[in-house]
Chain A
Amino acid sequence: MRVPFLRMKEIGKRFPGVQALQDVTFDAFQGEAIALLGANGAGKSTLMNVLGGIISPDEGVIQINGKTINIKTPKDASEIGIAFVHQEMALLPTMTVMDNMFISDYPVSMKIKINRAIMRKQCSEVLDLLGCRISPENYIRDLGTGDRQMVEIGRALLGQNKIFIFDEPTSSLSKREKLNLVRVIQKLKDEGMTVIYITHFLNEVYEICERVSVLRSGQVVGGGTIEEVQMINLVRLMVGEVKIEDRGTERITSVDNPIMEVSSLTRKGVYKDINFTLHKGEILGFWGLLGSGRTEVARGVVGLDPVDSVKMKISKNGELQPATPDTVRRQIGMVTEERRVDGLFLPMSVKRNMSMANLNNLIKKNSSVIDKSKENLLCDEFVDRLNIQISDKEQIVETLSGGNQQKVILGRWLEVNPSILIMDEPTRGLDVSAKAEIARIIVRIAKEGTSIILISSEIDEMMSLCDRFLVFNKGKIIADLAYGVSEDKLVGLAAGADEVIQEGDNE
């Protein structure tokens, strides 16, 4: 058997509350591209962060050509020749393309002076190779996301790198840019480089890679050459056999009970002319890739980000009537994507976290003093109803597991009982049983009459929960599909499949 060029051996990593990686062994050879697949939270990023020196593993070793090496910092990784193209771009907006590419390793003449000529030459070469039409002297802040991504990729191509990690590089690229990237990766392979490719798009795997490795819940669950594994198998491997709460076929199909209408919602440069209607008790799925505008639109609807234009209608006595955005927004609750960043108050107690959105209703009459007994009562009720596991309601939220933290946020909104609830990735980073529990709660809330907008990257979860799908691509809604649509079609549309599909006729 061939000796792998890179071997990550029996890697283990624990984060508070989660076993992120467990006994993961990952091999990569020279002159090939290997796809690293897995659902969100499967451990792909953690594994690559270990390789990139951003996270140090609890267990396991990394070997190159059979020799054990030590990677403690990103600098170690780059000295070994590992180039990491992050999904979350690491760019310096106030500096030029050139500076961004060379920032940690400038070519210098006479020991100190930066050699601009060499920089410009190498930078232009790389940009040409990528088919990118920007100048090395452009400032990053003036570039769009596609070009920014290209700069990020260009940085990896500079220097003497041997291993290239691409973490979802295509999600913000246009078709032309994507083709160029595929060509560049082919060239890297021809030169004997090792490419590790992380993606959500299975068709890209077949286009680019020779082998795949699939992670699920921090463990390797399968892999092999692409001839050996079929696409169907890959999906099954990624998702696993655990079925998330499925509502079966009892979906809401009635369109005669609208609760909110949003029209001509625009934010320049982000999304444009978004129109949709939400019905009572409906679970409406916003489906699309990262950066497609699904999250951005949701944040625009609730007013967390500024919008350039929006018109809103809300149901009053069963009929839609125009209303100011502020009026409508008062009836919308929002469960955000990153609960630690803009959801929870980590050092506060469970009780305070849960009552935070509802304080206006918890004050004593004609004063602004908080009615503590009422607060306790409500908190107890929802801790009970949502089955939140806590020692007592004064427990600090930071000490809870992810699933319980998410339930605290759900409890916060259920206390308010808004008629519309937007949930952005409500199950991200949770274990399987917590996921199922959250899904059950979502179904229950909808049954009780709350209208829900659900955003999730997991197609599976979307398929099992949503009544209807709005597909987002590049800041626009490109399709409005009812329950029953195939998984392939949703995935294809989100990835920007060529044929524009008009689903207007199934109304």
Chain B
Amino acid sequence: MKFDSNTVKLACSKTDSIIKKYGEKRRYRKIVTVVVVILIIAVIYIFVPRFFNPRNLKNILVQSSTLGLMAIGMTLVYLTGGMDLSIPSVMALSGIIGAILMQSGVNPVIAAIITILAGGAVGAINGLSVSALKMIPFVVTLAMMQVMSGVSTWITNSVSVVVPLSYINIVLFKIAGLPLPVYIFIVITAISTFLCKSTLSGRWLYAVGINMNSAKVCKIPADRIVFFTYVFSGSLAGVTGILLTARLGAAGPLMGSSNVILDVMSAAVVGGVSIYGGVGSPLGAALGAVIITVLNNVLNLLRVDFFPAQVIKGVLIIVFVALDSFRRKK
């Protein structure tokens, strides 16, 4: 057999390019997100200059904080290859529980703690169903969403529960001109990103999402990890319930209507999180939440109706997931 240097070179450059491609692939997602942000800002600047009004910007930050927290919860579930559709309805129900407690005279702090625990408890049921009973996450949480919104309408008779002003003042306390939820959002984003990127559980999380079987061979407590992601997303839904209740001044079943879940999913997916598991980060989802909030805000300022906006978001999710599937196939 003849060995000419060309073939060798070709082979070398081929492997090089493969290696490069994989290195780039990681950066690719981040670049896409950044490019999308820049494009959006440019378009907005041209068409909706009103957008850059400081009050509007502050509003966006506050709104993205609630969406972002839910998206972060969803991201952890996504990283293991799961799905939690019940987040908004759990958020609404735990908010309602907190509000009812406060109406009946319970200390706001204790009420807030119970709100978070309630969210976590529902998450635990989801988690058990998925990890122990091996039920399909999408279907479990779809059913849970139905049950939770059912309970919400039932116990409130579809009427909002008003919360005391003192509670609102505590939760919306302003530091340097920005209300507390924004800081909570930033802190939780930072903590959960650190958790995912640098700790033992974070490493396990990605491992389970990439290959559950390999994870089990490596003695990773895969079922426990999956279980806790649902508890985490439930608890974050509880936290969101507190913040949103304070912002709206009342808690009601509509807070967690099924439109919200679309925003949560869009936020995660636009933020570079893969629904197939193992790819993405809470930071990405947080940025995704900001993007989605901006999108909502701009559509609003442009006086685009609610329904076309829904159509756009529905298509957006499919397109992003299709791109993800396509990349995977390659």
Contact = CB atoms under 8 A, between A and B. Distances in A.
- Consider the complex of A and B and state whether they touch directly, i.e. have CB atoms less than 8 Å apart: yes
Interface of A: 304, 329-330, 334, 336, 341-348, 352, 356-357, 359-360, 363, 367-370, 391, 394-396, 398-399, 412
Interface string B6-37: 00000000010011001100000000000000
Nearest to B195: A368
B205 to A, nearest CB: 12
Contacts of A336: 217
Given A347-B210, A399-B22, A370 B199 contact: yes
B125 interface: no
Nearest to B278: A347
Given A370-B203, A399-B19, A412 B198 contact: no
A342 B219 contact: no
A356 B203 CA distance: 8
Contacts of B23: 394
28 contacts: A329-B219, A342-B211, A343-B214, A345-B207, A346-B210, A347-B279, A348-B210, A356-B207, A356-B214, A356-B215, A356-B218, A359-B200, A359-B203, A359-B204, A360-B200, A367-B199, A368-B199, A369-B198, A369-B199, A369-B200, A370-B198, A395-B19, A396-B19, A396-B22, A398-B22, A399-B18, A399-B22, A412-B218
B201 A368 contact: yes
B216 interface: yes
B213 interface: yes
Given A369-B198, A370-B203, A342 B278 contact: no
A341 B22 CA distance: 20
A391 B217 contact: no
B210 A391 contact: no
Contacts of A367: 199
B220 interface: yes
Given A304-B217, A342-B216, A352 B203 contact: yes
A344 B278 CA distance: 14
Contacts of A342: 211, 213-214, 216-217
A64 B279 CA distance: 49
Contact of A368 (B200, B207, B219): B200
B211 A344 contact: yes
Contacts of B204: 359
Contact of A363 (B200, B213, B217, B218): B200
Nearest to B212: A342
Contacts of A357: 218-219
Residue among A334, A347, A357, A395 with most chain B CB within 10 A: A347
Nearest to B328: A347
A394 B214 CA distance: 19
The 3 closest A-B pairs by CB, nearest first: A342-B213, A357-B218, A396-B22
